[in-house]
């Protein structure tokens, strides 16, 4: 396995598939039917805000997107959502996505998602990605990593705890209780 920073242009479709396979339940179909969602996600990727894992043949088998003070893997905004889903649809999606956002502090390094091919899970790829993310965060001067994970995703929570993450609960009023199915976890870097 080869771990590198970034993704290649020709990998956009594969990264969108990995992302949607991993997070479709959490996103709740927010981007519409699968073909439309894949196309929108692929167009919205910023290729330099990712850590990638490729197998011996060069095929991407895992990816993690991140949001740092300098940008994010998923680079959609209200304008792109409105262009894709219309005025009302774009506004509705922007509100829901903003509520899902989990940046705890402007200097933190927020992990947007860790996605590993289903056939290759539980082989240490996720742990390697997390350590590569920690290295990238340190290089950017960020004091912590943060991520959100579904409370029902026990395997992922165990992985994150084994890599030094702890649950962190901010106090806020929940306007969308269905989105509170997740736990915010933070790993402080030393």
pLDDT digits (tens, 9 = 90+) for 100-153: 665 556 667 889 889 999 999 999 999 999 999 999 999 988 899 999 888 888
CATH code where residue 73 lies: 3.40.630.30
Whether 24 is in a domain gets the answer: yes
The answer as to whether 165 is a domain residue is no
Tell me, yes or no, whether 187 lies in a domain.
no
Q: Residue 179: inside a domain, yes or no?
A: no
Global pTM reads 0.83
Q: Identify whether 73 is part of a domain.
A: yes
Predicted confidence (pLDDT) per residue in 35-89, tens digit: 888 888 998 999 999 999 999 999 999 999 998 777 888 887 788 888 888 888 8
What is the number of other CB atoms lying within 10 angstroms of the CB of residue 120?
A: 15
How many domains would you assign to the chain? 1
Domain membership of residue 167 (yes or no) is no
Question: Do the beta carbons of residue 88 and residue 42 sit within 8 Å?
Answer: no
- In Å, what is the CA distance from 129 to each residue of 2, 30, 119, 134, 188? 11, 26, 17, 9, 16
Q: Kindly state whether residue 176 falls inside one of the protein's structural domains.
A: no
Q: Which domain holds residue 48?
A: 2-145
Q: Which two tokens stand for residue 67?
A: 């949001």
């Amino acid at each position: 396995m080869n771990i590198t920073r970034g993704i290649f242009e020709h990998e956009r479709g594969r990264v969108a598939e990995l992302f949607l396979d991993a997070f479709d339940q959490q996103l709740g179909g927010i981007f519409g039917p699968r073909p439309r969602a894949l196309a929108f996600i692929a167009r919205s990727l910023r290729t330099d805000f990712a850590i990638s894992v490729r197998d011996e043949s060069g095929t991407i088998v895992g990816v993690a997107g991140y949001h740092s003070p300098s940008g994010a893997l998923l680079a959609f905004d209200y304008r792109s959502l409105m262009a894709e889903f219309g005025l009302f649809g774009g506004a509705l999606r922007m509100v829901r996505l903003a509520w899902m956002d989990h940046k705890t502090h402007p200097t933190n390094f927020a992990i947007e998602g860790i996605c590993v091919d289903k056939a290759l899970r539980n082989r240490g790829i996720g742990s390697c990605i997390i350590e590569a993310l920690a290295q990238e965060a340190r290089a950017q001067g960020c004091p912590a990593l943060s991520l959100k994970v579904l409370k029902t995703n026990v395997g992922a929570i165990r992985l994150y705890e084994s890599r030094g993450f702890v649950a962190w609960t901010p106090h806020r009023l929940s306007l969308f209780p269905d989105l509170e199915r997740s736990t915010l976890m933070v790993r402080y870097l030393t």
